[in-house]
Amino acid sequence: MAVIAPLRAVFFNTDSVGDLSTVVTPPYDVLNASEARLLQAANKYNMVRLDLPKEIGSEQFSTDRYARAAETFKGWMRGGILVKDFEHCLYYCETHYSLADGTDHVRKGFIALAELHEFSEKIIKPHEKTYSSVISDRLRLMEHCKAQFSQVFSLYSDRDNSVIGLLQGEKGEVHSSVHDSIGCKHTLYRVNNSEVIDTICRIFKEKPLYIADGHHRYTTALAYRKKMLERGDISSGHPANYVMMYLCPMEDPGLVILPTHRLLQFKGELSAADFYNRFSSYFDIKAYSDDELGKPSGSGMLQSMKKLSSELSVDYSSCVFGVYLPLLDKWFTLQLKKDVLGQGDVLEKGVQDLDVTILSEIIFKNILGVDDKASVNAHRLHFISEIYAAVEQAEQLCDEDNSHSPILFLLNPTTVDQVRTVADARRTMPHKSTFFYPKVITGLIMNHLDEKDTVYTTAP
């Protein structure tokens, strides 16, 4: 199935750049302009000088941006700011992080090259749609720089934990370690044992890969390979045939998907009576008092949703939403009635059991008459992962716009099994269905697409 390979990674030279925490960044697609400016000011060698897709402070793409990024990358390579590993390795990574509930976790994965396959080959499996405008930007940056600055975050199944077990046995001394801007610790180890690398490469020949995060990065790599093929034949070991991936087992206890809650500014007034009238045909509704939820109410509602979902019988819908109406200061749970999904072709098969699908197709479209894509474009639908920030923003909207009624929908997280099921069915999830936390950091490791550097599918 999948073909993976070791790589000669590119790293920042700490003797030149100093503290690594001042040069690494979150992935480009989660950075806004103000965050990018702060990162740029932190260190003149910060990754935003290479990886930011737009001019800082502007929504317009700039042709000069790609040329400047390429010249910067080449200059940093020539000047020793960036250094390339002298041998092909796999890079084992441990990510230590804490969740809002105070629990500590460690996610274990590794970075390698993965041979590119079209999605139709069913070897690399997506679960999200991609957009041509994003791919065009990323492709121009890759063509100019001939480098991959961020990894594609992918999953594979390994119930025996054989791959991570092999890597842990060979990890040796820490190669690099950094705390990111939200306090997560990323620690990297080089694994250069040729027998271990060969064994791991053989294991993956029996496994498909599931993209968790970075669909646009993967599709960009496909587009880059296509352009290289159009310019002339490229050998099987040509770097354009591969993409840099962070690979994590689906069964890893440190693998976490967080929910992304939705805050909708519903046009007009929504009274309690209107709320019940609209939703009662599809959902069983339960109202909660502050005493039942405790303080803070948002956290209490998440616990109530989790408890209610776990108590539902197999033959009854497990889809449960939390709802907060800040204008009325009221909290509810919505539990989908068991016969709703059986009423004809209500939802597309393969994604009909997803909470995010039910929210989009039944709640937004059928009950509220809202187009979620149009609402996003009109800045009337907001995606917020942190519960306290979501509640605070919902309450702030009460004072800002009297023509709309804020409605906060709280979601349970999508599960890894649901991601696999949707990908296997060759379906795609709605926008913002998964939030794999924490993000894979950008700048700790890079891949130089040097045509002289042959890729080996087993250790050289």
Instruction: Give tens-digit pLDDT for 91-125.
Output: 999 999 999 888 999 999 999 999 999 999 999 99
Which letter, b or e, does each residue of 85-99 get, where b requires 16 or more Cβ atoms within 10 Å of its Cβ? beebbbbbbbbbbee
Rounded Cα distance between 420 and 439, Å, is: 19
Q: Which of 174, 151, 32, 156 is nearest to 96 (CA)?
A: 174
Confidence of residue 273 (pLDDT cuts 50, 70, 90): very high
Say what the alpha-carbon torsion angle 340, 341, 347, 352 is, to the nearest 10 degrees.
130
pLDDT at 35: 86
Q: Scanning the structure block, which residue is given the tokens 């976790």?
A: 105
61 pLDDT exceeds 70? Answer: no
**What does the pLDDT look like over 142-181, one tens digit per residue?**
999 999 999 999 999 999 999 999 999 999 899 999 999 8
In this prediction, what percent of the chain has a pLDDT beyond 70?
Answer: 93
Rounded Cα distance between 441 and 455, Å, is: 24
| Phi, psi dihedrals of residue 410, rounded to the nearest 5° | -100, 135
CB 338 within 8 A of CB 353: no
Amino acid at 440: V
* Average pLDDT for the chain: 90
344 pLDDT exceeds 50? Answer: no
CB 239 within 8 A of CB 453: yes
pLDDT at 5: 97
347 pLDDT exceeds 60? Answer: no
pLDDT mean over 429-434: 88
Is the alpha carbon torsion for 223, 227, 230, 233 positive or negative?
negative
pLDDT mean over 5-10: 97
Is the alpha carbon torsion for 225, 26, 396, 413 positive or negative?
positive
Q: Which of 204, 245, 205, 249 is nearest to 221 (CA)?
A: 245
Is the alpha carbon torsion for 342, 343, 344, 350 positive or negative?
negative
- Strands 320-325 and 283-288 turn out to be unpaired
pLDDT at 59: 47
Q: Which residue has the higher pLDDT, 345 or 224?
A: 224
| Greatest CA separation for the chain | 70
Rounded Cα distance between 417 and 349, Å, is: 16
User: For residue 198, with 0-12 CB atoms within 10 Å meaning exposed, 13-18 middle and 19 or more buried, which class applies?
Assistant: middle
Confidence of residue 6 (pLDDT cuts 50, 70, 90): very high
Structure tokens at 8: 């000669």
Rg (CA), the chain: 23
**What does the pLDDT look like over 173-218, one tens digit per residue?**
999 999 998 999 999 999 999 999 999 999 999 999 999 999 999 9
- Where are any strands of DSSP class E within 289-415? 320-325, 330-336, 381-384, 404-410
User: Number of H helices and number of E strands within the chain?
Assistant: 15, 21
53 pLDDT exceeds 60? Answer: no
Q: Scanning the structure block, which residue is given the tokens 């590993």?
A: 85
Find the angle CA(388)-CA(391)-CA(393) to the nearest 5 degrees: 105
| Phi, psi dihedrals of residue 56, rounded to the nearest 5° | -60, 125
Rounded Cα distance between 122 and 159, Å, is: 21
Find the angle CA(390)-CA(423)-CA(149) to the nearest 5 degrees: 70
Q: How far apart are the first and last CA of the chain?
A: 21
346 pLDDT exceeds 70? Answer: no
Partners of 243 in the beta sheet? 114
